[in-house]
C-alpha cells in the first residue's frame, strides 16, 4: 500500500459507510493501549481520545499489567510482540485474574508469525487487528464489542442534549453520572 493509502486509512473510513451506523462506547470509557511503538501508542491513543475516550498507554507487558489492575480499563488494545512479557503472556495473566478477566481485549500485531500464532492458539482475546490499521478498523472493533454486549453503548442523543443545554463545567459531572 502506498503512503497515501495508509494516510487515508488512518484518517478515513470504509467507502460508503456512514459513521453514525457504528456504535460507540460511552464518552469517558477507560481504554488502555499497549504497544512498544511510540507511534502506534500516539496514533491509536489520539484516535480514541478524539472520540471522547480516556486513554492510558503502556510500552511493555509489565506496565500493562500494572495499569490494567490499577485503572481497570473497559477495553485494552494489546500488541502481541512486546519487550519482556509478550502480549500472549499479558493476555493469559489478565484472563486468569478475577479483577481483570472480564475486560475486553483486542490483540494487535504486524508480525505475520505472531498473527498466525494468534489464530492457532487463541487465548481468549475478543478481537484482532492487523497492523497497519486505520480509524475504520478501530471503530469497527469497538462497534463489534458494543454489539456483542461486551461494552455499553454510547447514548448519542443524551450526549448531544447535555452538550447543548448544560454549561461546559457541568458536562464532566453529567458524563460521570451517565457511566
Kindly state whether residue 1 falls inside one of the protein's structural domains.
Answer: no
State how many domains the chain has: 1
Residue 102 lies inside a defined structural domain of this protein: yes
Q: Give dist(CA 125, CA 53) in Å, integer.
A: 21
- Look at 176 and 130; give whichever has higher pLDDT: 130
Judge whether 84 lies within some domain.
yes
Q: What is the mean pLDDT of residues 66-86?
A: 96
Q: pLDDT digit string (tens) for 77-95?
A: 999 999 999 998 999 999 9
In a domain, 46, yes or no: yes
Contacts of 117 by beta carbon, 8 Å cutoff, 6+ apart: 80, 88
C-alpha grid cell, residue 94: 489478565
Ramachandran bin of 48, using left for φ above 0, alpha for ψ from -120 to 50, beta for the remaining angles: alpha
For residue 33, give the 3-state DSSP assignment: strand
Residue 77 lies in a domain: yes
* Strand 75-79, strand 30-34: pairing: parallel
Q: What pairs with residue 107 in β-bridges?
A: 78, 128
Contacts of 49 (CB under 8 A, 6+ apart): 55
pLDDT per residue as tens digits for the range 48-61 = 999 999 999 999 99
Backbone dihedral angles phi then psi of residue 82, each to the nearest 5 degrees: -130, 155
**Percent of the chain at pLDDT exceeding 70:** 69
Residue 9 resides in a domain: no
pLDDT at 10: 44
d(CA 60, CA 47): 20
119-132: pLDDT as tens digits = 545 668 888 888 99
The partner residues of 30 in beta bridges, in order of sequence, read 54
Q: Is residue 34 part of a domain?
A: yes
The H or E element spanning position 153 is none
Stated length of the chain: 179
Confidence of residue 23 (pLDDT cuts 50, 70, 90): confident
Does residue 179 form part of some domain? no
For residue 77, what are the domain limits?
23-154
* Backbone angles phi and psi of 88, in degrees to 5: -65, -40
- CATH number of the domain enclosing 89: 3.40.50.2300
Amino acid at each position: 500500500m502506498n503512503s497515501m493509502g495508509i494516510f487515508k486509512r488512518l484518517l478515513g473510513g470504509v467507502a460508503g459507510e456512514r459513521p453514525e451506523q457504528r456504535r460507540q462506547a460511552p464518552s469517558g470509557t477507560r481504554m488502555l493501549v499497549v504497544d512498544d511503538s511510540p507511534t502506534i501508542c500516539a496514533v491509536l491513543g489520539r484516535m480514541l481520545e478524539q472520540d471522547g475516550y480516556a486513554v492510558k498507554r503502556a510500552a511493555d507487558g509489565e506496565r500493562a499489567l500494572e495499569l490494567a489492575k490499577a485503572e481497570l480499563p473497559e477495553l485494552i488494545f494489546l500488541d502481541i510482540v512486546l519487550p519482556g512479557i509478550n502480549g500472549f503472556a499479558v493476555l493469559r495473566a489478565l484472563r486468569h485474574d478475577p479483577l481483570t478477566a472480564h475486560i475486553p481485549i483486542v490483540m494487535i500485531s504486524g508480525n505475520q508469525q505472531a498473527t498466525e500464532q494468534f489464530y492457532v492458539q487463541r487465548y481468549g482475546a475478543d478481537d484482532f487487528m492487523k497492523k497497519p490499521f486505520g480509524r475504520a478498523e478501530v471503530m469497527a472493533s469497538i462497534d463489534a464489542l458494543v454489539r456483542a454486549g461486551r461494552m455499553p453503548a454510547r447514548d448519542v442523543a443524551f450526549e448531544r442534549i447535555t452538550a447543548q443545554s448544560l454549561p461546559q463545567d457541568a458536562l464532566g459531572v453529567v458524563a460521570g453520572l451517565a457511566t
